[in-house]
Structure 1
Amino acid sequence: MARITVVGGTGYAGGNIVREAAQRGHEVTAISRKAPADKTRGVTYVEVDVLDSAALAAALEGADVIVGALSPRGALEGKMAGVAKDLADVAQASGTRLGMVGGAGSLLASPNGPTLASGEDFPEEYKPEALEMAGILDDLRASDEALDWFYVSPAANFGAYNPGEHTGTFRIGGDVLIVDDEGNSEISGADFAQAIVDEIEKPAHRRERFSVAY
């Protein structure tokens, strides 16, 4: 059993991770600005403004694994890099493993090809978010070797608009977008969460990005 703290634990990705980890018997803490009305049994909910570095660091004490599952939207727009640095600083200082949930925008459309976010079909309104999360991946790759991190990118069609089902079957890739035989790239929230908790239980990607899709 691991002590897993999910920052952004009430969002779509974070909420799925929290549920999956709790179901597997881990000691789970969900950090968010506001606790949800519908709580997962056995999960500790802590209300923290993640832009308050000191409060965030205090809330992360005692974790074996920290998972950042935040998006640079709303109050966090343009500020996610700073939050990610705070998480990395705490993780490195305490010897805690850090996992970051990113988007699909920084994945390559094909081997040695352009990123999804640089393509003409990528929605313009989501490009700043994709670039910000790509910058966090760059920062992690340039970080001190003492920081044990992993970064996870989902399929292109991932989100509350496409929740899917928990199949327990999916593929793990690297920096290139995973698509099926028909060119679709999808993953359910539950299967994405399973892949992340699998990585926590049996680390296979130290200081690497991996991707998850059907």
Structure 2
Amino acid sequence: MSRITVIGGTGYAGAAIVAEAVRRGHQVTAISRTAPTEPIAGVTYIQGSIMNVDVRARAFDGAYAVVTATAPRGAMADQQLELSEALASRAGASGVRLIVVGGYSSLRPAPGKPRFIEGFVPSQYLQEAKVGHAVLEILMAEPFALDWTFVSPAQTFGAFAPGPATGKYRLGGEVAILDKNGKSYVSAPDFAMAVVDIVDAAGHRREHVSVVG
């Protein structure tokens, strides 16, 4: 199976992606600033900052795909764009696939409509949403040689709204998938299933996709 690196591999989304990739038999390296609370057998854990050049080199060493699941908050608040540019540059030069876990605000409510980030976003989420969308813009501006996929989770997704694995999900494009009440949700295990499916299928090259449960 393939070798996959997950940056932010002990976070909410990252840890679920690590677990799913290992379950399928992939060789997995997880990179994060913090040690895992419940290490998974067979995973190579690297504790350190991905802003470190040597750590970043290890992320790409022998990898088929690099999945980055960091968020522009905390220590990464002012470094997310620099990191995204560095990852895109190295992935493009090395031919490694780059899968970026993005945000909901980069989606559109309907085809041809402005993205959510271009309308109203609650003030407490606005800065993070702006940076997250700027990452997508960096990817879209990269040369065609870069094989990237930007994956936006559902509107309700995070440690504040955990849920079990259902074994199913819906995959869409850059238009948000909403229920009849205008809401959407996906659990971490189901989101991870979608991400690893994208890696395994080698599809959705240079596309923005969305995932709901």
Using the TM superposition, give the Cα deviation of residue 178 of structure 1 relative to its aligned residue in structure 2, in angstroms.
Answer: 0.8
Report Cα offsets for 1:48-101 as digits up to 9, x if no partner: 212223432234311110001000001111211111111112212211111000
Amino acid at match of 1:199: I
Using the TM superposition, give the Cα deviation of residue 164 of structure 1 relative to its aligned residue in structure 2, in angstroms.
Answer: 1.4
Report Cα offsets for 1:9-52 as digits up to 9, x if no partner: 00001011000000111000000012213101211100121222
**Equivalent residue for 2:131?**
132
**Equivalent residue for 2:21?**
21
Q: 1:91 to 1:149 in 2, by over 3 A?
A: same
Q: Is the 8 A contact 1:152 1:210 kept in 2?
A: yes
Q: Is the 8 A contact 1:149 1:208 kept in 2?
A: yes
**Equivalent residue for 2:83?**
83
Aligned-partner Cα distance in 2 for 1:205–1:147: 12
Aligned-partner Cα distance in 2 for 1:57–1:80: 17
Report Cα offsets for 1:104-157 as digits up to 9, x if no partner: 01111222223223443x321111111111111111111011111111000000
Q: TM-score, normalised by structure 1?
A: 0.95
Aligned-partner Cα distance in 1 for 2:56–2:29: 13
Aligned-partner Cα distance in 2 for 1:176–1:78: 28
Aligned-partner Cα distance in 2 for 1:72–1:97: 21
Q: TM-score, normalised by structure 2?
A: 0.95
* 1:148-159 equivalences in 2 (<5 Å): 148-159=147-158
**More divergent stretch after superposition (157-166 vs 21-30):** 157-166
Amino acid at match of 1:140: L
How many residues in Structure 1 have an aligned counterpart in Structure 2? 213
The gaps in structure 2 that reach 5 residues or longer are: none
Q: Is the 8 A contact 2:152 2:211 kept in 1?
A: yes
Q: Is the 8 A contact 2:2 2:27 kept in 1?
A: yes
The gaps in structure 1 that reach 5 residues or longer are: none
* 1:24-43 equivalences in 2 (<5 Å): 24-43=24-43
Determine helix, strand or coil for the equivalent of 1:105: helix
Identity %: 47
**More divergent stretch after superposition (43-52 vs 64-73):** 43-52
